[in-house]
C-alpha cells in the first residue's frame, strides 16, 4: 500500500469514519447505521468454473498434504497420491479397492494396515487372505491422514459412456476396462492441475506476483490511490503514522547518511521523516499522487534530500542499492492487495548487503467473536425481509469477509498466531499457507465468526510495535471478520480447533481466497 492505503477510524467505539477503497474494483458501501460493518465488495470477474477450481484447490490445502502409502513422498492431494502410487510403486488403489469390494470401513482398515505393516504392493496383490479385517486397523496410524478422509464410494462410480452403456460399479467392469477408466481420470486430473498452474504460476513454477501483471491490468489499482481522501484518512490514522515515525526517529542514528527507498511513497510523509534523520531518500509511487508529493517535498524544502520517481518499482532501475527499504504495504487481513510482492522484489534486487526492511516482521492472528446484535443485522436479516425469505442473499453475504472494528467485549476465545512473516527471509510463495488453530473458549456463548488481524514489528535497536487487534486502539485496517453461516454454541474451557487456508485469488491475485475448516464445517470466504 504505501501512503496509498486506506483510511483510518480513530474512535474506540467504531466511529463514523468509513475507510475508502484500498484497491481497484473495491468500492465503499455507506451505511446509515454506522454499527453495520463495511463489506468489501468487488465485481466478479471469474466464471463459476474458475471459482470451483479455486475452492477445490483450497479444500485440498485445508485437508492437508497426502503421504504415500509406500514411501515418504508427500503429495498435494489424494488424487495425485493415487497417481504417484501407480507410477512409482505399481499399486493401483482404485483397482485394489474394487477387487475386494471394500466399503469405507474396509478401505480405512486397508490404509492403516499398509501404514502399520508396510507390505510391498506385490505382496498385497498376491495375498489370497485379507489381513486387514481386524478392528485394530480402524485406529489411524497417522493423525489427520488425508487418505482416511477420502470418500471411497467415489471410487466405485463411473460416468455414462458415449454409447450410453451406463455402468454404475467399477467391479462390474473388467480389469482392462478399469485401467482405461483410471488412465482417463488421471489425464483429466493432470489437465485440471495444469490449467490451475497456468493461471497461478509463472514460467519458473513460482506463484505469480503483482510484478507479473501487465501495467494496464493494474491501472485501476494505482488509480485508486490518486484520490486525496484516501491519503487524508491514512495520515489521520495516528497508530499507523506515528509508529512509522517513531521507528524512524528513535533510530535516527542508524539512518543518518544512509540511502533509503520509500516504496509506495504516496504523499511522501515517510520520506520526509527519513530525510529529517539525515538520510538520502528515493520515493517511488505509480499513482498520480506523486505529483502532489513533489510539491509537498518542495514546500518543506527537502527537494535536495528526497528524489521522487513515478513508475512501477518492477520497471525502474537505480544507480545504487539502498541501506533501508521502508513501505507501508499492509492490507486488510495483512495480505490483501498483494503489495508485499513489490517489497520482496525490492529487497531481492535493491537492498544492500546488511540492509533492513522497515517493518521487518508481521504476524497474522485469529480469534473468535460473539456479537449477536451485529450478526442479526448483517446475516439473520435475510431470513425475513418484510415477510419474505432471502436465504440466497444470506449465503452470498457470508462468503464475503467484512471489515469492521470488533469491540473487546465481543471476543469470546483466546487468540492464536496463524502466520509469522520474517520479511527479510520469506518469498511470495510463503504468502499462501495453511495453518491449524486451537482457540480456548473464555465463556459460554455463541461463536458468530472468526476475527483476523495482524501485528507489525520494527526490529531495530529501539524497537517499535503496533497491533491491529481488537485489544488495541483501532486503526484504519480495523479487523477482518469471517462470519459463520449460523452461530455455533460453545462452552467455557473447550477448544475450538480447525484449519485456516489462505490463497491468492487465481484470476485477481491482489485478492484472497480464505478457507476455514472446523467442527465438520468447511467454510469459504473472499477477501476482495
Residues 6+ apart with CB under 8 A from 134: 109
Q: Do 512 and 431 form a contact (C-beta atoms < 8 A)?
A: no
Cis, peptide link before residue 527, omega less than 30° from 0: no
d(CA 504, CA 526): 10
Using alpha carbons, list the distances in angstroms from residue 461 to 50, 62, 99, 353, 464: 48, 39, 67, 18, 9
Catalytic residue flag (residue 127): no
Given the residues 57, 233, 337, 528, select the one marked as catalytic. 337
Helix axes 48-63, 175-200, angle to 10 degrees: 100
Residues 6+ apart with CB under 8 A from 515: 55, 58, 59, 61, 62, 499, 500, 501, 503, 522, 523, 524, 525
End-to-end CA distance of the chain: 15
d(CA 457, CA 180): 56
d(CA 31, CA 325): 38
Q: Do 305 and 280 form a contact (C-beta atoms < 8 A)?
A: yes
The gap from C-alpha 501 to its chain's centroid, in whole angstroms, comes to 6
Given the residues 38, 53, 233, 328, select the one marked as catalytic. 328
Output the furthest CA–CA distance in the chain (Å, rounded): 89
Residues 6+ apart with CB under 8 A from 393: 382
Q: Do 405 and 474 form a contact (C-beta atoms < 8 A)?
A: yes
Sign of torsion over alpha carbons 193, 195, 197, 200: negative
H or E element: which one contains 123? helix 121-126
The residue among 127, 6, 3, 34 whose CA lies nearest residue 377 is 34
The residue among 422, 241, 275, 257 whose CA lies nearest residue 323 is 257
d(CA 214, CA 220): 12
Radius of gyration from C-alpha coordinates of the chain: 27
Catalytic residue flag (residue 328): yes
Residues 6+ apart with CB under 8 A from 106: 100, 132, 133
The residue among 306, 303, 255 whose CA lies nearest residue 277 is 255
The residue among 481, 480, 477 whose CA lies nearest residue 237 is 477
- List, by residue number, the catalytic residues: 328, 337
Amino acid at each position: 500500500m504505501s501512503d496509498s492505503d486506506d483510511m483510518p477510524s480513530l474512535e474506540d467505539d467504531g466511529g463514523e469514519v468509513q475507510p475508502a477503497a484500498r484497491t481497484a474494483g473495491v468500492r465503499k458501501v455507506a451505511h446509515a447505521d454506522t454499527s453495520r460493518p463495511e463489506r468489501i465488495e468487488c465485481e466478479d470477474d471469474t466464471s463459476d468454473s474458475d471459482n470451483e477450481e479455486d475452492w477445490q484447490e483450497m479444500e485440498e490445502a485445508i485437508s492437508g498434504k497426502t503421504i504415500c502409502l509406500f514411501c515418504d513422498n508427500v503429495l498435494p492431494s489424494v488424487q495425485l497420491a493415487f497417481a504417484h502410487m501407480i507410477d512409482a510403486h505399481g499399486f493401483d488403489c482404485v483397482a485394489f479397492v474394487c477387487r475386494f469390494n471394500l466399503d469405507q470401513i474396509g478401505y480405512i482398515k486397508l490404509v492403516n494396515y499398509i501404514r502399520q505393516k508396510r507390505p510391498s504392493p506385490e505382496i498385497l496383490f498376491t495375498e489370497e487372505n485379507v489381513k486387514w479385517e481386524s478392528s485394530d486397523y480402524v485406529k489411524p496410524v497417522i493423525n489427520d491422514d488425508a487418505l482416511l478422509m477420502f470418500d471411497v464410494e467415489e471410487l466405485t462410480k463411473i460416468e455414462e459412456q458415449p454409447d450410453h452403456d451406463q455402468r454404475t460399479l467399477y467391479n462390474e467392469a473388467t480389469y482392462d476396462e478399469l485401467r482405461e477408466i483410471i488412465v482417463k481420470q488421471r489425464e483429466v486430473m493432470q489437465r485440471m492441475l495444469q490449467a490451475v498452474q497456468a493461471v497461478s504460476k509463472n514460467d519458473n513454477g513460482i506463484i505469480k506476483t503483482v510484478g507479473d501483471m501487465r501495467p494496464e491490468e493494474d491501472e485501476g489499482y494505482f488509480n485508486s490511490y490518486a484520490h486525496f481522501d484516501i491519503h487524508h484518512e491514512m495520515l489521520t490514522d495516528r497508530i499507523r503514522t506515528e509508529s512509522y515515525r517513531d521507528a524512524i526517529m528513535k533510530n535516527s542514528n542508524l539512518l543518518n547518511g544512509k540511502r533509503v527507498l520509500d516504496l509506495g511513497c504516496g504523499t511522501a510523509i515517510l520520506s520526509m521523516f527519513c530525510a529529517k534523520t539525515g538520510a538520502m531518500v528515493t520515493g517511488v509511487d505509480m499513482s498520480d499522487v506523486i505529483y502532489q508529493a513533489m510539491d509537498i517535498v518542495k514546500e518543506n524544502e527537502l527537494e535536495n534530500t528526497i528524489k521522487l520517481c513515478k513508475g512501477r518499482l518492477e520497471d525502474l532501475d537505480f544507480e545504487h542499492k539502498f541501506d533501508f527499504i521502508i513501505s507501508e504495504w499492509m492490507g486488510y487481513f495483512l495480505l490483501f492487495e498483494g503489495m508485499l510482492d513489490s517489497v520482496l522484489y525490492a529487497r531481492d534486487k535493491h537492498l544492500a548487503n546488511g540492509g533492513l526492511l522497515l517493518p521487518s516482521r508481521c504476524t497474522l492472528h485469529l480469534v473468535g467473536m460473539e456479537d449477536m446484535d451485529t450478526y442479526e443485522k448483517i446475516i439473520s436479516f435475510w431470513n425475513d425481509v418484510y415477510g419474505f425469505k432471502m436465504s440466497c442473499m444470506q449465503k452470498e453475504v457470508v462468503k464475503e469477509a467484512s471489515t469492521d472494528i470488533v469491540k473487546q467485549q465481543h471476543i469470546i476465545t483466546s487468540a492464536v498466531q496463524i502466520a509469522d512473516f520474517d520479511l527479510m527471509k520469506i518469498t511470495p510463495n510463503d504468502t499462501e499457507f495453511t495453518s491449524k488453530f486451537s482457540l480456548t473458549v473464555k465463556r459460554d456463548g455463541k461463536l458468530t465468526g472468526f476475527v483476523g488481524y495482524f501485528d507489525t514489528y520494527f526490529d531495530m535497536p529501539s524497537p517499535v510495535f503496533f497491533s491491529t487487534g481488537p485489544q488495541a486502539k483501532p486503526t484504519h485496517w480495523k479487523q477482518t471478520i469471517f462470519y459463520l453461516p449460523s452461530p455455533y454454541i460453545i462452552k467455557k474451557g473447550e477448544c475450538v480447533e480447525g484449519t485456516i487456508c489462505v490463497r491468492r485469488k487465481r484470476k485477481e491475485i491482489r485478492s484472497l481466497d480464505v478457507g476455514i475448516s472446523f467442527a465438520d464445517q468447511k467454510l469459504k470466504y473472499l477477501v476482495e
